[in-house]
A and B are shown apart, each in its own frame.
Chain A
Amino acid sequence: MKAVVLVFPGINRERDMARTLELVAGAKPAMVWHAERELPAGTDLVVLPGGFSYGDYLRCGAIAARAPIMEAVRRHAECGRLVLGVCNGFQILCEAGLLPGVLMRNAMLKFICRDVYLRVERSDTPFTRGYNAGQVIRVPVAHGEGNYIADGATIARLEGEGRVLFRYASPDGMIDPNWNHNGAINAIAGILNARGNVLGMMPHPENHVEAAMGSTDGRGLFAGLVDHLERAA
């Protein structure tokens, strides 16, 4: 898997992401600076990592979404190649119009940094083939603006087309407001674009990939991507 991790000013989770990609895929990803205009030839996966690009000025992800490299990311996605945005990366993808909707301030107004439980809604996508549908995984979140919202027609379309891949849930997989820590509509934690090759999610699967981290539940996402690309090759 030839992976690229984008680096924007103010991003701070790019090394976690690079480490996980190397651990699971066996090859170091290329780190690509936001001011570049081209991705390395043959890039399979572009990852937009978490952090605080441009200090969250204006709106989270708004300025990074207009960076020069984003035109290349748009072309990459239009070719059907894979894009993953985590946390600030999800916010950037929404601001860039590669995913619908927006991430608002958490409903309780607090920055939340802790483990959450996610229900994996489908296993038949490149991003979730490492899991079973209905499986519950434990991964960390660390965000102040993760409260996903979109207009009613967009939500109906996302739900109707099965594009919600992860929802905040209880440890036994129940959707319950008490376990929806940021107030996201329909407990949405991660969504797919219409074509099925761009995923944005608020939680950090890259931070639960080794036993020393307390859980390896995030590993399935990356292992699934590697498997998907090997089968496609």
Chain B
Amino acid sequence: MKARITVTLRAGILDPQGRAIEGALRSLGIAGVASVRQGKVFDIELEGTDRGAAEAALKDAADKLLANTVIENYRVEVVG
């Protein structure tokens, strides 16, 4: 099974990297960019076929290591 965990900064947390990227996009002349927030994507391959167990393990992984829930949110997707 393949899965993807997406980690993003919580609303209200200052993202200086996102802001710098936003500025760079403007200076490239790319129109219509209102704001940019930078995040992380983890593509994970899992053993076994139990989708429920996989989702539980991925949530555990995100809570314990992949995201710092003080400042970040995460989304778990088992993609098949």
Q: What is the interface of chain A, defined by CB distance below 8 A to chain B?
A: 58-59, 62-63, 66, 95, 100-102, 104-109, 149-151
A208 to chain B, nearest CB (A): 29
Give the docked Cα–Cα distance between A151 and B11 (Å).
12
- Report whether B70 and A150 are in contact in the complex, using a CB–CB cutoff of 8 Å: yes
B78 at the A interface (CB under 8 A): no
- Report whether A104 and B20 are in contact in the complex, using a CB–CB cutoff of 8 Å: no
Q: Which residues of chain B are near A104, meaning CB under 8 Å?
A: 13-14, 16, 71
Chain A contact residues, majority secondary structure: loop
Number of inter-chain CB pairs below 8 Å? 32
Given contacts A106-B16, A107-B16, 8 further A-B contacts (CB under 8 A): A58-B66, A104-B16, A108-B16, A109-B16, A109-B17, A149-B71, A150-B70, A151-B70
- Report whether A149 and B13 are in contact in the complex, using a CB–CB cutoff of 8 Å: yes
Give the docked Cα–Cα distance between A185 and B16 (Å).
15
Chain B contact residues, majority secondary structure: helix
Which B21-40 residues sit within 8 Å CB-CB of chain A? Answer: none
A202 to chain B, nearest CB (A): 16
Q: Which residue of B lies closest to A66 (CB)?
A: B65
- Report whether B16 and A105 are in contact in the complex, using a CB–CB cutoff of 8 Å: yes
- Report whether B68 and A105 are in contact in the complex, using a CB–CB cutoff of 8 Å: no
Give the docked Cα–Cα distance between A111 and B51 (Å).
43
Q: Which residue of A lies closest to B12 (CB)?
A: A151
Give the docked Cα–Cα distance between A48 and B17 (Å).
27
Q: Which of A95, A101, A104 has the most CB of B within 10 A?
A: A104
Sample of 13 A–B contacts (CB below 8 Å): A58-B65, A59-B68, A62-B65, A63-B65, A102-B71, A104-B14, A104-B16, A105-B17, A107-B14, A108-B16, A109-B17, A109-B20, A149-B71
B10 to chain A, nearest CB (A): 9
Give per-residue flags for B45-80: 1 if the beta carbon is below 8 A from chain A beta carbons, else 0.
Answer: 000000000000000000011101011000000000
Give the docked Cα–Cα distance between A106 and B20 (Å).
12
Q: Which residues of chain A are near B71, meaning CB under 8 Å?
A: 102, 104, 149
Q: Which residues of chain A are near B13, meaning CB under 8 Å?
A: 104, 149
Give the docked Cα–Cα distance between A75 and B45 (Å).
35
A57 to chain B, nearest CB (A): 11
Give the docked Cα–Cα distance between A150 and B65 (Å).
18
